[in-house]
A = this chain, B = another copy of it.
Amino acid sequence: MRLPLIGAIVGVYALLFGLTLLAPIAVGLWYGEPQWRHFLWPMLGSIGLGALLWLGGRHQARTLGVADGYLVVALFWILLSLLGAWPLHLGFGLAPVDALFESTSGVTTTGATVISGLDTLPRALLFYRQQLQWFGGMGLIVLGLAVMPLLGIGGMQLYRAEAPGPLKEEKLTPRLTQTARTLWALYLGLTLACALAYWLAGMTPFDALCHSLSTVSTGGFSTHDASIGYFASPAVETVAVCFMLLAAINFAVHYAAWSSREPMRYLRDAETRAFLALVFGCVLLIGVVLRLEGGYEGLDESLRDALFEVVSVVTSTGFGTVDFAHWPDFLPILLIYISFIGGCGGSTAGGIKVLRVLLMVKQGLLEIRQQIHPHALLPLRLGGRSVDPRLARSVWGFFALYLTTFALLTLLMIHAGLAPLDAFSAVATSLNNLGPGLGEVATSFATVSDLGKLIAVGAMLLGRLEVLTILVILSPAFWRR
């Protein structure tokens, strides 16, 4: 354990976080809102804290152990959630637990909220919430990866602990720094394109920018209580659907398709194909059920709402145009199920990830074939190639941990006072970084007890770090090293 070095790295991130607060300050000044001052102390405090930590540890060895990376990442996300809550509590007067909930929900790109009356809030605050999601989306960590080497610290261990998706060893380019910069360039490019598209579709420049930040990060915060439903615009919905889908596809696939200028690369990727098939299969099923039982006049209208909500849920964005919690029949539960699948690995989406679910389903189907041919050697295949048994094993282990975490947190959430179904959906929506749930937590966590909010905070962090990072640092084996 190299605690001072770990502190120094976390310090750099705190410093970077402090600098990002310049943006909401600028927004407040631009719109002449006195609340820009609420960000001043948090900015100076974060920068000061970061500088202190950095100065304390910078003379230490410059290499992290494999396992140290997990501690850095976990500490960083916890610190980020706390620093993010600072202006919300001391500046805007949210209760401590509420501020922590809102901040964690932001940086983990969950997008659940305890605030109502968004439409009347100062723009500096609205922008700040959106920005939390954007930085959380690709992860300040990856930003740090691009910066750290400038400071002389290698970061592969951070990438292992942080990057979402099962293929952690997969890098876009040979050099890690280059990878991080490429990821951020893609992320920034997508965000600018999204903002421009929203503006062309009729949003104000402010709304367009704000919603692009929470679309590309699959965060789901909005500047309006009615979320995307506020705009009542097919054009806006189309833009949202397109960019939510793009944000939930593996960024390595984006890179391959764009750098080679071959759009067919998307369809050559087995995970992307499965993801799109899942989306359109669910849209069709849900569109038909909505038409038959949801009081819709025509299939075109029911398909439109089905498309938006399925994409919003499967990408774990959580934008709403209608309230799926009040849809008929099994639809609310089906949408909660879908949120467990989530987007593709290596994207900003939450959930178990399509690739892992695909491998589990394939193993299930293989097991059926194995029964019919008990002595055959049937390899698990994906996209025409055999799957490395070690990757497959890690997927199954992950699956077991994810489900166990979900089951235990649901029991805790019931203990915190929620009805069983509400607790089930509250944990699912937090762990999968989705946002909206069912029943009591359909639109807001405001009425949930403090204990319940803290459990949700834990679930959001567990989900954002794909369970393993937190479980690793909680394991006795980690501290026994």
Contact = CB atoms under 8 A, between A and B. Distances in A.
B415 A329 contact: yes
Nearest to A408: B337
Nearest to A332: B420
B363 A400 contact: yes
Contact of A367 (B66, B332, B371, B468): B468
B160 A374 contact: yes
Contacts of A373: 66
A433 interface: no
Contacts of A79: none
Contact of A407 (B67, B337, B360): B337
A370 interface: yes
Given A333-B410, A333-B420, A477 B368 contact: yes
A367 B389 contact: no
Interface residues of A, number: 52
Interface in A431-481: 468, 471-472, 475, 477-478, 481
A404 interface: yes
Contacts of A420: 332-333, 421
Contacts of A475: 368-369, 372
B368 A400 contact: no
Contact of A70 (B70, B330, B371): B371
A385 interface: no
Contacts of A206: none
B70 A400 contact: no
A478 B365 CA distance: 12
A248 to B, nearest CB: 21
- Sort A-B residue pairs by CB-CB distance and give the 6 closest, nearest first: A367-B397, A364-B400, A330-B411, A330-B414, A360-B400, A364-B401
Given A361-B400, A366-B393, 8 more contacts: A66-B373, A329-B414, A330-B411, A333-B411, A364-B397, A367-B397, A367-B398, A396-B396
